[in-house]
Structure formats: structure tokens, C-alpha cells
Structure 1
Amino acid sequence: MKRAILDVMKKYETIIIHRHVRPDPDAYGSQMGLAAILKGNFPDKKVYCVGEGEPSLDFLGEVDRIEDSVYDGALVVVCDTANTERIDDARYTLGAELVKIDHHPNEDVYGDYVWVDTEASSCSEMIAAFVEEFPKELAMNEAAARLLYAGIVGDTGRFLFPNTTPKTLRYAADLVAFPFDRTEIFTKMYETPLNAVKLSGYILQNFQMSENGAAHIYINRALLEKFDVTPRDAAQLVNRIDSVIGIKAWILFIEDGDIIRARVRSKKPVINGLAKEYRGGGHPLAAGATLESEAEIPEMVAKLEALCD
């Protein structure tokens, strides 16, 4: 499949790269890292990265604004997105052919070319592997290495998560051979606004944990307003309780407009099936879901406790 994807990329003059909504470093890293690779190796191609911009990730790069007409006869690539409903910018259907590159479970099979590797730590790791696969046809460059490294760091939690494999570390080692500023990446990725730090204190003081190690907390609109944080800022605090002795899995519920977003994390119990029950999905130990009302919170918590039993 990697061979087929490279061949189809060579075929098209225009390539438009998408990723998922509410992007994280891996979404930006894989999308813009792939773009940097294509631009570096095929300078005559027109390569664009689209989707809503995320100010907290502007240090990695900025998205392109293009007209619908650009999609005519173009190849579209979607990175790091398991489900079509989560693809940022619905125009992904307007291209001539569609490529899916992802590391989430392939439950929503879309695209003319599908490369899914659930053993990869991140989609950024997959792009690094893609370059390594074809040493005579593709070369890594500093811009791409910086972006892919940021993506790997983000999805592995600075190499602390169990999805970090020997291959992950080897790819990271190859990427840091390029002279980009790693300190800047870590600083920008993990710096936290003062008001969000204060909210994290509230979370540490008020989360609830059952005897079997299932924990949760609900950040409603009133709390968001009190601490002057956005739902996205709050979501970044999902791992603040991961070091509590005895904790097995936890959910951070955040009111976001008319819905409630659930950020689910685990140390061992598999939780992506639970997330799928609530209009979500993800990895076995890290997933997300969408609740339609507060009434669903206690039932989802009860199911989490059953998983931890």
C-alpha cells in the first residue's frame, strides 16, 4: 500500500492534505510533515494543508486557504482521522482520488487508498516510516523532521505512553539528527496559561475516584467561565490526575456548547469500546466521546467503573 500511495502521489500535480477537527500536535505534525516532504522532494507540485487553524499550534505552521476549484483533478490525503465525520473541511470529497493514512482502528473504511497501522505510535511516525521505505525516492528534510518529531512527542506523551516502541524511538532518533530546536517544541507544546493552571488545581481537589480506580470530573460551563478557559484548554488537562496511586482509568467531562465532550484515558482497561458507545472512539488507552446531555454522565461513569472492576 505504501508503494501504491507513493505512486499515486507522484501522479498528481496538486495534492491537498486534510486532518481531523480540533487538531492536536500529531494531526498538525503528520499533515504538515507530509506536505514538507512532498514539497522538498517534488518542488513542482502544488501541496496544500487545509482545515480550521488552531492558534495554540501556530508555532508548527499555518493552514492554507484555497478555493473549491483547487480540488478539481487533485489528490486528497487525509491524515490521522479514523472517521469521515471528524475530517476537517468537508471538501475532502471533491478531489479525484482519496488517500487515508491513519493509526486508529479502521472502523470507518474510506478512501481509494487506505494505509492504517494501529501499531504505530502516531500518524507522524507512519509518515517517517513512509520516507524510510523509499530511500532512493524520498528524502527527509529539516522542516518535515521538526513537524514529525512534534507529532510523535504529542501522541506518545513525551515517550511516556505505552504506545512508544523501539521503532518509535529509532524514528525519533533519526529525526533529531536534524538541527531544529527541540527545546522550543517542548516549551510551546506544554506551556499552560495561568488560568488553566488554576483550573488544574480545581481538578486535583475535586475529582472523584471509586475504590476500583475509576475516576471522573465534570467541568461545566460555569467552571469554564469562572476560570476563563475554553473547552479546548480544559481538555489539555486530561492527564493531570494520571499519577494518583490506584487510578486505573478516568474521564474528563467538559461542557462545550450544546454537548459534553468526554476525554477518556486508561492505564490498562481498554476504553475505546466505551467511547464508541457514546459517539466516539480512539485508541485502547486514549479515546474521546460526545455526550448529548448531563444525564449520560453517570451511566458512562458506571460503565467505566465496570471496566475497572
Structure 2
Amino acid sequence: MNEREYKEVKELLSSKKNIVLVPHRNPDGDAIGASLAMYHYLQNTGHNVTVIAPNDYPSFLKWMPKSKDVLKFDMQNRQSKRAIDEASIVFLLDFNALHRVGSDMENTLKDFEGTFIMIDHHQQPDAIAKYLFSDTSICSTCQMVYHFLENIDAVDSIDTSIATSLYTGIMTDTGSFRFASTTSTTHRIIADLIDKGANNALIHNNVYDTNSYSRLQLLGCALSNLKVEETLKTAYITLTQQELDEFNYQKGDTEGVVNYALSLNGVIFAVIFIEDVEQKIVKISFRSKGSFSVNKFAREHFNGGGHDNAAGGRSEISLNETVSKFLDILPNYKTELLNSYEA
């Protein structure tokens, strides 16, 4: 967005509106954090605001201020569709294409005749929003929301609830500030959010230190399934539906597990394959270090995409067939894997 567009958005938000905020399907900390931050800001400035998540999200994010007010489109369908029908503005937060919300919600949003505003940091956004704030160099959508508020002269309106939401999203999308996308600007924003009321120790505890016993047992199972392709600097993990059921899998229980594979000395490419019998797919998360682009890999082979060092994908063949396909493809990337600058 340019200066003229920010002025137009500021004018658009200067009078009371019905506004809907939408994160992507299976929303993570950044998506929920961005949605709740905008929810608090817009409510505080007099708008009627509804957050509609396509589906449920992990319990370790449900402590966030006003999280209980988030509608789930798949479970509160009529209420969600009514809110979209009555809205004049829909914010699309932390995703770059309507298919990222699932087919039913995608069809509903395609019929929306109001104004779309997209704030996102993923590559190759679709041309669906009148106002697009897209920057792939920024570590998180929550940092982009902070900049959005800067550009409409609203940073001073950040209160404890907004600061908490933004801090949570930046923390989770940067791996607690350790990824290369974490810049000095990110740290300056984090300092301002702490000054504005974000309790950094409490936020970290609420997200990372509330594991259930069964979740840790599932982690142990995942690590026991870990395989390493040493000559290709790659590690991967599999989880079957039977294993998920055995350890009472709850949404969010596999969040971050792929990073254990990436933490191995000498590994620059890590993958987790998770069987989902209900959806008849295998869900895949890709992570990398250095110059190896998992966004490109996921787009070319597994109906996915994301960032250069963090992406997702899916497969509609069996878990074993998916892993075999992956292992067949992998040697074609040997040169790129061996030459990643962090290897």
C-alpha cells in the first residue's frame, strides 16, 4: 500500500462500520494474534467487529484477550455468514489466497461485495483485495499490523490487549525471535509492545509451557519416528492416524515438532508428514535453513507454499506413498541442499 491508499483506508475507518476479520484455516499464533490485535483496535475506535476463523485453533492460544469471542466458520456457520453479509469491510490476515480458508468459507467470501483489505507476508498474493499490504521480508503478519497502525497514525492507540496479541504473533512466527527474519526493527517493536503492556514472560509461559502429558508422549513418538538422510542433510518425521489417536491428539499438538528435526547438527531441510484420515490427506510441514527454499519445493511437489524457510503442503496419496514420493524427489535437490549457506 502506498501513502494515498493508507489515507483512503484511514478515511474508510473514520466512521462506524461492520467489519469482519478472517485468519487462514488452522490458524496459528500469528494469524490469531493479528486478528485479535485488529479486533481490539477496531472495537476501541467504535466499529462493530467480528473475528471469524475458518475452524478451531490450538488451546495454547485460547488465553488471549477476547479469544472466546472468535467465531468458527465450520461450527457457527449461519452466524458467521450473517456477519460477512452485514459487513462492509473484510480484513484478510496472514494468508494470500482465498483457498487458504477452506472451500465453504472461500465460496462465501467470493460472494462478498464490500472492501477486502489484505495484510500478509507470504509470497505471491492473489489479486483479491482492494487494499494490499504485502511484504515477504517482514517476519510476521503481527509486525505488519504494527506497521499498518503506524501508517494510519494509530500506534499510540495500542493498549495492553493489542500489545499482547501482537507480541504473541511475532514471538510464535519467529521461533521466539531466533529466525533470520527477526530484524533490529522487530526487536524495537517488541520493546515498544512490552512498554505498552505485553507481559513477555507470561505470554511465553502461556504458549510454550502448558503441555499436556499426552502431547509430550506424542512428541516422544514423533521423535522415535525421526529419520535422517545424512548425505542430503535432510531429516523427516512421520505420524500415522493410529499414533495420533493413541496419544489423544488435540489440535496444535504437533505444532513446532518439525523444528526438532531441523535442530539436528548438519540438517538444513526438515519435514513432518502427518496422516489425516478424516480429510483423506497427509498434512506436511517443511522447514529449512539458509538458501534452500521450502516454499519453492512445496509449490512444485506438494500443493503448498509459504516462506523460503517455512512452508506447508498436502498430499492425497497414502502416508507411505507420500514419503516414497518425497524420497524419490529429494536427490534432485542435492546440489541446493549441500550448498545452503548455513550448512
SS in 1 for 2:285: strand
In structure 2, give the amino acid aligned to 1:241: A
Matched, 1:226 2:246: yes
Q: Deviations 1:227-262 (Å, cap 9, x if unpaired)? A: 222464124412122221111101100001210000
CA distance in 2, matches of 1:303, 1:85: 26
Question: Which amino acid is 1:16 matched to?
Answer: V
Shift of 1:73: 5.0
How far, CA to CA, are the matches of 2:260 and 2:219 in structure 1? Answer: 7
TM-score normalised according to structure 2 size: 0.83
Aligned with residue 50 of structure 1, among 45, 49, 52: 52
Please state how far the C-alpha of 1:217 moved relative to its aligned partner: 1.8
Give the AA of the match of 1:215.
A
After TM superposition, what 4+ stretches of structure 1 lie above 6 angstroms from structure 2?
A: none
Question: 1:222 Cα deviation (Å)?
Answer: 1.8
For the 8 Å contact 1:216–1:301, the answer to whether it is kept is no
TM-score by length of 1: 0.91
Relative distance call for 1:16 and 1:219 in structure 2 (3 A) is: same
Q: Percent identity?
A: 26
| 1:262 counterpart SS class | strand
> Which of 253, 259, 272 does residue 281 from structure 2 map onto?
259
SS at match of 2:123: coil
Q: 1:303 to 1:9 in 2, by over 3 A?
A: farther
Could you list the per-position Cα deviations for residues 11-45 of structure 1 after superposition, in whole angstroms to 9, with x for gaps in the alignment?
Answer: 561111101010111000101101111222x12x1
Structure 1 unaligned spans of 5+: none
Q: Which runs of 5+ in 2 are unaligned?
A: 339-343
Distance in 2, Cα, partners of 1:138 & 1:179: 13
* Within-5 A mapping of 1:214-253: 214-230=234-250, 232-253=252-273
CA RMSD of aligned residues (A): 2.1
Deviations 1:31-79 (A, max 9, x none): 1101111222x12x11111123325121111304645343235211110
Structure 2 counterpart SS, 1:128: helix
> Match for residue 341 of structure 2?
none
Deviations 1:75-115 (A, max 9, x none): 11110012211126343342511111101012422112111
Describe the SS at the equivalent of 1:81.
coil
Decide which of 18, 21, 33 is 1:14's aligned counterpart. 18
Quick check: 1:143 aligned with 2:161?
Answer: yes
Instruction: Find the aligned partners of 1:144 and 1:217 in 2 and give their Cα distance.
Output: 36
Determine the structure 2 residue equivalent to 1:78. 92
Aligned AA (2:285): R
Q: Answer yes or no: is the 8 Å Cα contact 1:72–1:95 preserved in 2.
A: no
Contact 1:279 1:290 in 2 (8 A): yes
